[in-house]
Amino acid sequence: MLRTRVITALVLVALLLPALFYLPQSYWAFAVAAFIGIGAWEWGALLGWRNTPRLLLGVITALICAAVSLLDPEAIGATAVISPAKEWVLAIYGVAALFWCLVMPLWLQKKWPLVGFGGLLVGAVVLIPTWLAMVQLRILGPGVLLGIFAVVWMADVAAYFSGKAFGKHKLAPSISPGKTWEGAIGAGVGVIIYGLVLRHIFALELMSLPLWVLALIGLTAVSIIGDLYESLLKRKAGIKDSSNILPGHGGVLDRIDSLTSTLPVVALFWLLVIQSRL
């Protein structure tokens, strides 16, 4: 199993890094659209769908993302004139932020099922803003987007090791028995250290130090919520992984569960706070 995980991870890195650093922005948008389409196909399994309906959901989702790229290339940074902070963009991110920050804590508490048309709408709120953020944040530079990915990866790694070493108090035993409060605290510490290092190396003066630390803590909390939500959905659907398309790692949703919650929030912050100063 470990060998399979390592091989799959190496293949993913070999595909991700060249695409991230060398694809033109429009091609990057299409590539991410295909990736999110696979995630939508997996979302169909969480809804209890099989075969053709799942495939159609994946294809339609990918086509919607690709169509947005073609209809408004300025918003995704695919033209000489870049205009990312459009009203429809802010609306999409705003809905996603409200969903993750306000609705999701209640959802995790109530453990609502994912069914019917409502399940489709939730899938759109989870996946479409993730695609848009993954495309728009690349406007800042491939390295910046990779650095944002690394925030989530750092949270996952720090949570795993701190949970293994110190974990005693369960965070959400009925949703994900392996997660602990000690792991969550470790994730926050890891992200804070990572964020402070980045702040020092790149002289990031976007906000005061206390606000910077508070933002890192908030980002960690949102990433954990995204992780817990997918765990809840898989438990409700009675499946271990969203799919087996990534040997040793499960599915696309298993790899981007925390990114679905964090990327739209980061993108909204960028457009409202940082972009407004330029």
Asked whether residue 252 carries a pLDDT value surpassing 80, the answer given is yes
The helices-and-strands tally (H runs, E runs) of the chain is 10, 2
For 246, which DSSP code?
B
DSSP state of 211: H
The number of distinct structural domains making up the chain is 1
pLDDT for res 3: 78
The confidence score (pLDDT) of residue 276 equals 59
Please tell me the predicted confidence (pLDDT) of residue 204.
Answer: 79
Tell me if 191 sits within 8 A of 152, measured CB to CB. Answer: no
Q: Give residue 40's pLDDT band: very low, low, confident or very high (50, 70, 90).
A: very high
pLDDT digits (tens, 9 = 90+) for 128-162: 999 999 999 999 999 999 999 999 999 999 999 99
- 248 pLDDT tier (thresholds 50, 70, 90): confident
**pLDDT of 278 higher than 60:** no
> What is the Cα–Cα distance from 9 to 216, expressed in whole angstroms?
26
Give residue 166's domain range: 2-277
Residue 204 vs residue 89, higher pLDDT: 89
Return the percent helix, strand and coil in the chain, to nearest 5: 75, 5, 20
Q: H/E/C letters for each residue in 43-95? A: HHHHCCCCHHHHHHHHHHHHHHHHHHHHHCCCCCCCCCCCCCCCHHHHHHHHH
Question: Which of 4-13, 156-165, 244-253 shows the lowest mean pLDDT across its residues?
Answer: 4-13
Q: Which residues contact 273 (CB under 8 A, 6 or more apart)?
A: 206, 207
pTM as predicted: 0.94
- pLDDT over 70 (residue 45): yes
Q: Which residue has the higher pLDDT, 237 or 32?
A: 32
